[in-house]
């Protein structure tokens, strides 16, 4: 019989919905988990109507006092989905109380905050998790396994992009455009994902960043007004009051990996025509891999050792139970999965880890996610100073 884990969700919004859905569904599909989440308490600010959120998403209790929630002896796992600047104070409070902590990516708004979180987690000796949910796509998990088993051989070149177009001039000054709340712009929001994906799939670490460019195209944005439920009111676009944008709209950089591969990374919220194009290519001596999240059920694979007459891209639908990671918990073959399933898969892996079992694929803990945060910092330093930055210089 499964044990139970009382979860506290700190924050609401978009990620609050995805995490809530994951906890709500995980034990319905992963039926043999040794631990089951109980949606105990959600925290939201007064203007967010936390009682409405809790009722809609299945939380037993709700609160407007995150500290009391985190300190409660009834809570077994603290899950943080706040804007980035709040990751550190909430995590530190939870770690001081001896609670396992999960947090949305990136680990923190700044490298300094991330460093403090890693140190506190090490001292507390509790499990920590970071929601780099794209690792939980069956196709990405399969790519990781193929590289690990030598199917690609020596890796030469990695190409990563995360392209969105929602950040045009008409978009108001949301928290994601403010450094004090987000830490950085498209870089921390989008490049964080593809950096983690590249590290995860290759099993290698970045040693140097060069050629970085960071650009803010829209210097000012309309200050939004809050609606009754804490959302952005429709009238915001008609407002004349503007505020300064102090984060990037786009960041591009080059990188070297420890084992000799070279890489390129690109993230932007102004890639007109792309809504959520998160992609990676890995080119090696024995083969190559290609993934695009907008077609997330597929992994493209080249076997470079095959006969020349049949050598070329093979399109693999990663939905076969028994053959592909996570697929057995879901639908029959080729009954495809969507965005929300990556979060449910991660919730299952978190429950396995808390029960002392091995997750399907590794979950980044604070120390692992800190390595991605270091790369984010190095790229911004490279852009600012217009020079190469060795990762050994970024502590």
Per-residue model confidence (pLDDT) at position 224: 85
Per-residue model confidence (pLDDT) at position 1: 59
Cβ atoms within 10 A of the Cβ of 36, count? 17
Residue 143 and residue 134: Cα distance in Å, rounded? 12
Model pLDDT for residues 232-245, shown as the tens digit of each residue? 433 345 557 999 99
Model pLDDT for residues 165-203, shown as the tens digit of each residue? 999 999 999 999 999 999 999 999 999 999 999 999 999
pLDDT band at 225 (very low <50, low <70, confident <90, very high): confident
User: Shortest CA distance to 93 belongs to which of 12, 178, 36, 8?
Assistant: 8
Per-residue model confidence (pLDDT) at position 228: 36
Q: What is the DSSP string of 108-165?
A: -SSHHHHHHHHHHHHHHT--EEEE-GGGGSHHHHHHHHHHHTTSS-SEEEEEEEEE--
Cβ atoms within 10 A of the Cβ of 67, count? 15
Identify the DSSP state of 260.
Answer: S
- Across the range 303-317, mean pLDDT stands at 96
Residue 94 and residue 56: Cα distance in Å, rounded? 26
Model pLDDT for residues 50-109, shown as the tens digit of each residue? 999 999 999 999 999 999 999 999 999 999 999 999 999 999 999 999 999 999 999 999
Average pLDDT, the chain: 95
- Across the range 216-243, mean pLDDT stands at 67
Per-residue model confidence (pLDDT) at position 230: 38
Residue 147 and residue 151: Cα distance in Å, rounded? 6
Instruction: Give me the residue spans of the domains in the chain.
Output: 3-133, 138-337+366-385
- The answer to whether 265 and 252 have CB atoms below 8 angstroms apart is yes
Residue 67 and residue 62: Cα distance in Å, rounded? 13
What is the distance in angstroms between the CA of the first residue and the CA of the last residue of the chain? 44
256: β partners: 208, 262
Cβ atoms within 10 A of the Cβ of 68, count? 11
Model pLDDT for residues 2-50, shown as the tens digit of each residue? 799 999 999 999 999 999 999 999 999 999 999 999 999 999 999 999 9
Please give the angle made by the CA atoms of 323, 201 and 329, to the nearest 5 degrees: 30
Interstrand relation of 277-284 and 287-292 (parallel, antiparallel or unpaired): antiparallel
Per-residue model confidence (pLDDT) at position 197: 98
Per-residue model confidence (pLDDT) at position 239: 58
CATH topology of domain 138-337+366-385: Dihydrodipicolinate Reductase; domain 2 (3.30.360)
Residue 271 and residue 186: Cα distance in Å, rounded? 11
Identify the DSSP state of 364.
Answer: P
For 137, list phi and psi in degrees, rounded to 5.
Answer: -70, 130
Per-residue model confidence (pLDDT) at position 5: 98
Which numeric CATH code is attached to 3-133? Answer: 3.40.50.720
Six-digit token string for 170: 């008409």
Residue 100 and residue 79: Cα distance in Å, rounded? 9
Residue with tokens 């460093």: 115
With residue 24 as reference, give the H or E element that holds it.
helix 13-29
- Across the range 360-370, mean pLDDT stands at 97
- Across the range 149-153, mean pLDDT stands at 97
Q: What is the DSSP string of 206-245?
A: EEEEEEEEEE-S--EEEPP-B-TTSSB-GGGGG---EEE-
- Across the range 295-318, mean pLDDT stands at 97
pLDDT at 256 over 50: yes
Q: What is the DSSP string of 293-359?
A: GGGTTEEEEEETTS-TTT-S-EEEE---TTTSTTGGGSPSTT----HHHHHHHHHHHHHHHHTTPPP
- Across the range 371-378, mean pLDDT stands at 98
Per-residue model confidence (pLDDT) at position 240: 74
Residue with tokens 């399907």: 360
- The answer to whether 330 and 29 have CB atoms below 8 angstroms apart is yes
């Amino acid at each position: 019989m499964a044990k139970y884990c009382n979860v506290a969700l700190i924050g609401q919004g978009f990620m609050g919905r995805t995490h809530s859905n994951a906890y709500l569904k995980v034990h319905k599909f992963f039926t043999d988990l040794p631990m089951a989440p109980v949606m105990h308490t959600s925290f939201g600010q007064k203007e967010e109507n936390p009682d409405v959120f809790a009722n809609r998403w299945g939380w037993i209790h709700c609160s407007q006092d995150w500290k009391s929630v985190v300190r409660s002896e009834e809570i077994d796992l603290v899950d943080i989905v706040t804007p980035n600047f709040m990751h550190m104070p909430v995590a530190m409070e939870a770690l001081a109380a001896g609670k396992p902590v999960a947090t949305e990516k990136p680990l923190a708004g700044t490298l300094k905050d991330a460093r403090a979180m890693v140190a506190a987690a090490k001292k507390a000796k509790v499990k920590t998790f970071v929601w780099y949910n794209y690792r939980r796509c069956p196709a990405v998990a399969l790519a990781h396994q193929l590289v690990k088993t030598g199917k690609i051989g020596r890796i030469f070149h990695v190409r990563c992009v995360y392209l969105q177009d929602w950040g045009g001039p008409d978009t108001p000054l949301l928290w994601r455009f403010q450094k004090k709340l987000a830490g950085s712009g498209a870089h921390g929001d989008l490049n964080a994902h593809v950096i983690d994906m590249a590290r995860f799939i290759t099993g290698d670490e970045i040693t140097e960043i060069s050629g970085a460019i960071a650009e803010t195209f829209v210097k000012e944005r309309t200050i939004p007004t809050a609606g009754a439920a804490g959302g952005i009111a429709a009238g915001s676009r008609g407002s004349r009051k503007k505020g300064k944008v102090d984060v990037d709209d786009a960041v591009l950089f080059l990188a070297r990996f420890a084992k000799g591969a070279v890489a390129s990374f690109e993230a932007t919220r102004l890639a007109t025509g792309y809504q959520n194009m998160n992609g990676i290519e890995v080119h090696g001596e024995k083969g190559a891999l290609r993934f695009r999240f907008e077609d997330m059920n597929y992994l493209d694979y080249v076997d470079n050792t095959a006969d020349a007459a049949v050598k070329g891209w093979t399109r693999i639908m990663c939905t076969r139970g028994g053959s592909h990671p996570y697929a057995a918990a879901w639908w029959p073959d080729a009954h495809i999965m969507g965005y929300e399933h990556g979060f449910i898969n991660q919730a299952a892996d978190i429950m396995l880890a808390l029960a002392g079992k091995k997750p399907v694929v590794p979950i980044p803990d604070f120390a692992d996610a800190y390595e991605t945060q270091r790369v984010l910092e190095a790229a911004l330093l490279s852009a600012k100073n217009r020079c190469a930055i060795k990762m050994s210089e970024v502590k």
